[in-house]
Structure 1
Amino acid sequence: MPKTISYLFLLVSICLISSCKSTPDKISSSEESSTDKMYLPKAGGEANAILVVMDTTDWNGALGQSIRDALSAYVPGLPQNEPYFKVRNINPLKFNSIIQRGTNIIMVHTLDGRGRQSQQMEKYYSEESLEKIRKDSSLYMLPQKDVYAKGQDIVHLFGQTKMQLAAHIKTNEKLLRNYFLKVENDRIAGRLFKVREKQIEKRLAEEYDFTMNIPYGYEVAKALPDFVWIRLLDPAFERDIFVYFQPYTGNAPFDDVLGKREEISSMFMRDIEKPDLYMTLQDTLSQVKEVNFKGKYAKEARGLWKFSDFSAGGPFVSYMFVDEGQKRLYYLEGYVYNPGDDKRVPMQEMEMILQTFTSGLSL
């Protein structure tokens, strides 16, 4: 978790939890008995879905819009508009034991709320907690885990007024989005790497002096001295990873990452039976930005690929960086072919695999 998120959550927890009642119906501390949690049901729900428990009138107003703006923005680099999260409002009066098992939940309350739904939301706070909110307008956010179900993440958003809380959310929307991105990515990684292709990982380490976590079912499609392609083939889809590297001479082509990508794909990603058929870029939606990749300066690219005959295409994500210890320039890419279905989760899987990359002395 980024330090800024950890610090904020620690600050709020110290200020708020210290006076909260430790019951399932109140904001409670993480010191709840592990024995009690043993009997909780397992959380469930669609990937990247968040239930937002709040007054439906507020949901349809500026406060609800601030939450939608933070969480329902479209993911860059996908062929169709797909949001980071699918958010759904839950009437607090209908927040029953079945809905409480949701994987991701946001609970929203402000002190200026009126009506039965707002009164219901107030029941989740002790009087001591409400008093702290009244006195300190900087408090607005608190995470909890495994409150109603195992494997559950809940974030409480609260404030003195709707306008005040909406302003907090707008100012810190990346923090809120990144919190749920992390917990969803962690869930995906836990499932994805439950069983791994250890022999492929060993081969990568021995032959190439780098490795990645390779999920079960993936196979090596091509292995050359400076290029390796690993993929998961299914009659309905593909998941593909490839890694290219070359000696680093001090002239890294960071100014033209997409041009380097075209050079690599035209050289290595050609059909054996039809050499004129190769992978290339679509002209739209490509985005390149500077990022920190495993502690190294890198360029991240997102966009769309296609075959030169337009017979297939889809999204990709890539990272280009220099490993100075190995004196290598690396280009890593994950791409998917998933016709007719959403690309959001498959692309998260690609990112999770690429993020496990380890090279040289770090092996």
Structure 2
Amino acid sequence: MKNSSIISPLWSLILALVLLYGCDAEGGFGTSSNKPKSRGAIGEIVVAVDSIKWQGPVGQAVRDVFEGSIPGLIRDENFYDLRKVDPRAMNKVLKMSTNIIYVTTFDDKKGGSQVINAMFTKESKEKAAADPSLFMLRNSDEFALDQEVIYLFGNNEAELIQNLKENKRQLQNLFQVRERNRMQKVILARKSSEANMAGQQLGLQLSVPASYQIAKSADNFLWLRQPTISTARPDISLFFYSTDYTSELQTFPDSIIALRERITRQHIYGNPDNRNSFLITERLDPSPVFTNFRINDNFAVEIRGGWKTNNLSMGGSFLAYIMVDAEKGKLYYMEGFVYYPNEAHRESIREIETILLATQLVAPETKAQ
């Protein structure tokens, strides 16, 4: 993603808002050749904010944005793990964190906020005062490579809270895209050529880690699975299906669920020896969540929800996409589902999301014969 704000069209003004550390001894700007590599767990964000502000309405607003529950999982899990740090304790080690958010308001005289406020020039504060919609600065690789640093600010708490509420989804998405790109470098370093060849039979170019194996390949259907050698690892499956696109009605929620269950009833079983163990969709807890989407300029619908086997022996979370290729008159269903009883599913779903969104349509002339 380009180093630019997704929040305000007045990016040229925002660039002038902040005077950061420069080339100081505490690890500020420097050439890329002498910066260390950032480090931190996927899904973790360091939040530098005054302790009193963190305990008040601003802290709650920040938590509402970044610790909100991920839709569609079978149990509550936060989007991100927040690690609160006093700004005065942001040493060289903490500044190497992969994701950092600084939070302040310019009217705050408390010690932690004053440390952050000192980074802003008088002129930048005057610009923020003149335009209350300016509340964020995004700066990549500020202290380390492959790093995202966000400054969230306001003239007062009410102003900042309002901007956080109004831009909640965009702020979540900013780190979501960042973490997906970060995961992609790791899990797609080695890809399965076998899976890609099988996917081309469906009209799809797949980018799947080499650890996934073909469980079943049939007309218009492909099931890939990452074998689990112990209960300490999630069992992740991916499946892909293609059919003719004849009507917009095929992209409506009821039609998508019906299609999903036609596929799983025919092809996917919790126990291959028990034909009554086919996968079905959890309707109530959680209810499926549908979001219009675009994948490589193609209309798509994202579906998040829970699955279970018809005989109730297994269950878990899934993420799926319906993607339309109107030019070729084809509709593609692609899904990843995880089986990991009593454990967190967030990172497994993030892995599934990374793989599925790397999928591309095969051009007609390169489709396998």
Q: Shared fold by TM > 0.5?
A: yes
Tell me which residue corresponds to 2:322: 320
Tell me which residue corresponds to 2:202: 208
Change (3 A) 1:4 1:51: closer
1:55-134 correspondence runs (5 A): 55-134=50-129
Conserved in 2, the CA contact under 8 Å of 1:26 and 1:126?
Answer: no
* Cα drift, residue 360 of structure 1: 3.5
* Cα drift, residue 13 of structure 1: 3.7
* Cα drift, residue 71 of structure 1: 1.1
Tell me which residue corresponds to 1:307: 309
* Cα drift, residue 334 of structure 1: 0.8
2:237 aligns with one of 233, 240, 245 = 240
* Aligned mates of 2:341, 2:88 — CA distance in 1: 40
* Aligned mates of 2:199, 2:353 — CA distance in 1: 18
Conserved in 2, the CA contact under 8 Å of 1:252 and 1:329?
Answer: no
Report how many aligned residue pairs link the two structures. 356
SS at match of 1:124: coil
1:279 counterpart = 2:273: no
SS at match of 2:328: coil
1:1-363 correspondence runs (5 A): 1=1, 5=6, 8=9, 10-16=11-17, 22-24=22-24, 33-34=30-31, 37-205=32-200, 207-235=201-229, 236=231, 237-250=234-247, 252-255=249-252, 256=254, 257-270=256-269, 271-284=271-284, 285-294=286-295, 295-361=297-363
Change (3 A) 1:276 1:176: closer
Q: Which residue identity is paired with 1:315?
A: S
* Cα drift, residue 39 of structure 1: 2.4
Conserved in 2, the CA contact under 8 Å of 1:245 and 1:329?
Answer: yes
* Aligned mates of 1:179, 1:275 — CA distance in 2: 43
SS at match of 1:334: strand
* Aligned mates of 2:105, 2:227 — CA distance in 1: 50
SS at match of 1:208: coil
Gaps in structure 1 of 5+ consecutive residues:
none
* Cα drift, residue 305 of structure 1: 1.0
* Aligned mates of 1:25, 1:120 — CA distance in 2: 16
* Cα drift, residue 356 of structure 1: 1.7
What do residues 231-255 of structure 1 show as CA deviations (whole Å, max 9, x unaligned)?
1011333111101122334475333
Q: 4+ residue stretches of structure 1 with deviation over 4 A?
A: 1-4, 24-28
Conserved in 1, the CA contact under 8 Å of 2:288 and 2:306?
Answer: no
* Aligned mates of 1:9, 1:21 — CA distance in 2: 23
Change (3 A) 1:116 1:359: closer
The structure richer in helix per residue is 1
Change (3 A) 1:56 1:147: same
Q: What RMSD, in angstroms, separates the aligned Cα atoms of the two structures?
A: 2.6
| Alignment TM-score, normalising by the size of structure 2 | 0.88
* Cα drift, residue 277 of structure 1: 2.3
Q: Percent identity?
A: 27
SS at match of 2:17: helix
| Alignment TM-score, normalising by the size of structure 1 | 0.89
* Aligned mates of 1:361, 1:332 — CA distance in 2: 18
